[in-house]
Amino acid sequence: MTQASRHLPFRRALFDLLSSMRFAISLLTILAIASIIGTVLKQNEPYVNYRVEFGEFWFSIFQPLGLFDVYHASWFLVILTFLVVSTSLCIWRHWPGVVRDFKGYREKASLNSLRLISHHAEQAKRLETSAVESYLQREGYRYKIRHEGDTTLLAAKKGSWQKLGYLFAHLAIVVICIGGLMDGNLPLKLLETFGLKAPEVRDIPQSQIPAISRLESNNLSFRGNVTLSEGSSASVVFLNAGNGYFVQELPFALKLKKFHIEHYSTGMPKLFASDIDVLDLQSGKVIQSGTVKVNHPLIVDGVAIYQASFGDGGSGLEFMQWDLASGKTSPLNTRSQTNQALTLAGRKYQLEVGDLRPFNIEDLGKPAEGSTSAVAVDKLQERLASAQAVTSSKNLRNLGPMVQFKLRDDTGQAVEYQNYMTPFFENGASYFVTGIRREVSAPFSFVRIPLDSDNQIASFIRLRQTLLDSSLHAEIARRTAAKAQAGGGVSAQSQAQFAEVTQTVLSQFAQGGLPAIDRFLAEKVPDDKRQAVAQTYLKVLQGAVIDAMDVATGRAGLPQLPMNEANYRFLMDSLVATSQLFDYGSPIILQLNGFNEVKASGFQLTRSPGKNVVYLGSLLLILGVFCMFYIRENRLWVHLSEQGTLLAMSSNRKTPDLDREFARHQQQLLGQKPTEQESDA
């Protein structure tokens, strides 16, 4: 443009650029877009997860760009720094003008300049200065009087805070960013850059972690986590850092006395609370005791202690170990979250015990309705009725304590189990429930083992052994056939043949349960007859299992099971369970008999000296935004001279309110009827 602008010194040009509105707006936009990245890409995950998700190629590009921790990446901090610089310069630039506006009354305005203001009115009669003064006071205006010759100018204003709003709001951004910086991990990043500190990537005991990965307790700000089981204590927390972690020393030791968890009747958690002691590092004396709850942190020595998570802290577990092959039992005592070597049936196994969950409320679905009318109107009415009520009946049940564990064989293959301690009741019968899955992502498939009158699985185990013992099949088949003949189901001639069929069915079943019988049928029986034969086989099997039970109780020297509906159901359930157990993948069943619960509580400990700075900034921001939008700065001039009186009014924003207010002043001060003075806009 002009010569002057071309020869602008570089520093001046830079100042102009950085403090310009265009630059500020660009920064706001860039910041918004950069922020999106971190919300789309999950942040601070272990690097392995990213490698799996994106592949090695993209990982090698994303990682140096800091995309896995965008908000602490150097380029992001640079944007924030520019925002602070730009805002600061903007304040610097406008500061003098704002102060001038805030202080000044513009009492030097000339008559002509006042006439150029769109809201002005004149009259020939000169008003008394005192009358104007008292009017301005009444209206809440502050004013200044300037006499020049025989003219008098009263320059008044109201709502000057509007101008301060600008300062507040922009200062707030700077203050908030400074507060954020105080709490950020910039110092740690710098130490890392210069190689003075480095995160630990190995999984080793805390005491062995070298000093280079340890942070002193006088660290200004930190945010770390630690998990404690009941009764244990810690004097460090762990800080996540990219691929590894730092150990932050605490100025005190934290001890978890007890963790409480409460549930609503729906099974939703209602309360997480930890009773803690804060101990002196040297003497071990209790400095402070308290309860930390979600939303109710405890602040000790500038360090806030938060309830962050909870879990099992290594509970004592008493298992009964049922050997499926021999039916023998032996106790097994262990702790949750530990591993243990086992030798089962001559093979080495690793038992990896997971978490104990003492409380498992499940919604077992709506109770089955007697009639299921498919008529649309009924459905609609049902929906409407349900929409009308704020509650609905749910079939909630506490399934009791449950433990998860894995059994890993010597080839490294693991099968995961989920066993419930208390019997599961359904329609008067009770079951031991064990879930099994071979892949972590798969849902558990459950085996329900019927319990006998002593609420034990002993009867089932005996029956299963008998059913699978091929040496007993002939005896079972004989009894079944004899019973069938006695009942008139088969003739005496075909009794032998019936026994033979029964034995075949039993031996097939013993090889692989119901699927084995299916396979056998598919091989031997033509398609068109298969359905009928399958029905017959099933009936034969159902009959044989009664005799198998008799054989089993006989061998164990126990009284015969009387045949009633409940016991018949027991047998049928046993048949299904036996069939399912072929796929169990474990030579034993671990039945939880008792436990001694030890809970664990996860704490987050933070020291954030910048918090109150940020809050101050936030307050300034709200105040500033409020002042800018909701305080109107009105200026009023009353010019008194021999020619008469001139009233002029201006505001920071031309709104209908200004029109109305000017009209009011015009009427009350000059006694004029307001003219239809629309603003020029």
Residues of the shown chain interacting with another protein in the complex, contacts defined by CB under 8 A: 21, 24-25, 28-29, 31-32, 35-36, 38-40, 42-43, 70-71, 138-140, 180, 183, 223, 264-266, 268-272, 293-297, 304, 306, 308, 383, 385-392, 604-606, 608, 611, 614-615, 618-619, 621-622, 625-626, 629-630, 655, 661, 681
Nearer to another protein, 49 or 655 (CB): 655
Which residue in 573, 597, 577 sits closest to 589, CA to CA? Answer: 577
**Residue with smaller CB distance to another protein, 289 or 655:** 655
Phi, psi of 332, deg, nearest 5: -140, 115
Nearer to another protein, 38 or 251 (CB): 38
The dihedral over CA atoms of 206, 209, 214, 216, expressed in degrees to the nearest 10, equals: 60
CB of 173 or CB of 481, closer to another protein? 173
Helix (H) or strand (E) holding 310: strand 303-312
Please, which residue, 304 or 399, has the CB nearer to another protein? 304
Question: How many other C-beta atoms lie within 10 A of the C-beta of residue 502?
Answer: 25
Question: Which CB atom, from 425 or from 629, has the smaller least distance to another protein?
Answer: 629
Taking the CA of residue 60 as centre, how many other CA atoms within 13 Å lie in the half-sphere pointing to its CB? 3
Query: What sign for the dihedral angle of Cα 184, 187, 193, 198?
Result: negative
Single-letter amino acid code for the residue at 573: D
Q: Of 223 and 335, which CB lies nearer to another protein in the complex structure?
A: 223
CA-CA distance, 272 to 261, in Å (whole number)?
Answer: 5
Q: How far is the CB of 245 from another protein (least distance, A)?
A: 17
- If the CB atoms of residues 33 and 124 are measured against another protein, the closer one turns out to be 33
For residue 372, the minimal CB distance to another protein (Å) is 19
Shortest Å, Cβ 410 to another protein = 38
For the bound state, the minimum distance from the C-beta of residue 211 to another protein, rounded and expressed in Å, comes to 27
> Please, what is the minimum distance in Å from the beta carbon of residue 661 to another protein?
8
Between 305 and 353, CB nearer to another protein: 305
- Shortest Å distance, C-beta 393 to another protein: 11
- Which of 444, 455, 453, 451 shows the shortest CA–CA distance to 419? 444
Nearest-10 Cα torsion for 89, 95, 96, 97: 110
Strand-pair partners of 646: 122, 639
Cα gap 677→574, rounded to integer Å:
95
Report CA dihedral (50, 53, 56, 58) to the nearest 10 degrees. Answer: -90
Q: Which of residues 4 and 377 has its CB atom nearest to another protein in the complex? A: 377
Tell me how far apart the alpha carbons of residues 651 and 264 are, in angstroms, rounded to a whole number: 58
Alpha carbons 577 and 451: distance in angstroms, whole number: 11
Say if strands 347-357 and 402-409 run parallel, antiparallel, or are unpaired.
antiparallel
268, two tokens: 């939703």
Instruction: Choose among 446, 384, 455, 393: nearest CA to 423.
Output: 455
DSSP 8-state class, residue 184: S
Nearest CB to another protein, comparing residues 84 and 548: 84
Q: What is the DSSP letter of 200?
A: B
To another protein, the closest distance from the beta carbon of 443 in angstroms equals 14
Supply the minimum distance, in Å, between the C-beta of residue 470 and another protein.
Answer: 44
Q: Per the structure block, which two tokens stand in for 131?
A: 């009358």
Task: Provide the 10 A C-beta neighbour count for residue 363.
Answer: 11
